[in-house]
Structure 1
Amino acid sequence: MDPQLWHCSECGDEREFVQPSCVDGHTEDGGLCPEWACIDCGAALVTGVDVRELVASGLTHAA
């Protein structure tokens, strides 16, 4: 997939993000991998994730 422009919280402004190779199986059924990385600093960005699922799974905490 082509690079996408998004705000990078680490860099403090808009940067290009690319998708690394998906090792979690998101693309096996033709779906899109939600993981992106800033090309300047490597900060991770996850798109299209329901935050409620992350909280329920314990991967993050509610603020």
Structure 2
Amino acid sequence: MSDRELYCDSCEGVVLFETPFCGDGHGADCPELVCTGCGAAMLVAMIAFRPARRRAPRPSHRHAA
């Protein structure tokens, strides 16, 4: 099991959270955590974003009438 100290809304303070047994096979990297003080569950998700690609401005083709 993995232990971390995080803020718990129910306990209103920093408390030890632990990773429960993970049936999904994540092991210590399981995103589910449980507060050891009150038993509240927390889901921690890491999301990575790719920076948006900037497109070159299109040249305007204006012709004289």
> Under a length normalisation based on structure 1, what TM-score does the superposition of the two structures give?
0.62
Which string of whole-angstrom CA distances, capped at 9 and with x for unpartnered residues, describes residues 22-53 of structure 1? 013334xxx72100000011100111255xxx
* Alignment gaps of 5+ in structure 1: 51-63
Runs of 4+, deviation exceeding 3 Å: none
Other structure's SS at 1:36 match:
strand
Pair 1:2–1:33, CA change in 2 (3 A): closer
2:39 to 34, 39, 42: 42
Alignment partners' CA distance in 2, 1:20 and 1:47:
13
Aligned-residue sequence identity (percent) comes to: 36
Structure whose alpha-carbon radius of gyration is higher: 2
Letter in 2 for 1:15: V
Alignment partners' CA distance in 2, 1:2 and 1:25:
14
Alignment partners' CA distance in 1, 2:29 and 2:39:
20
> Under a length normalisation based on structure 2, what TM-score does the superposition of the two structures give?
0.60
* Alignment gaps of 5+ in structure 2: 48-65
Which has the larger share of helix?
1
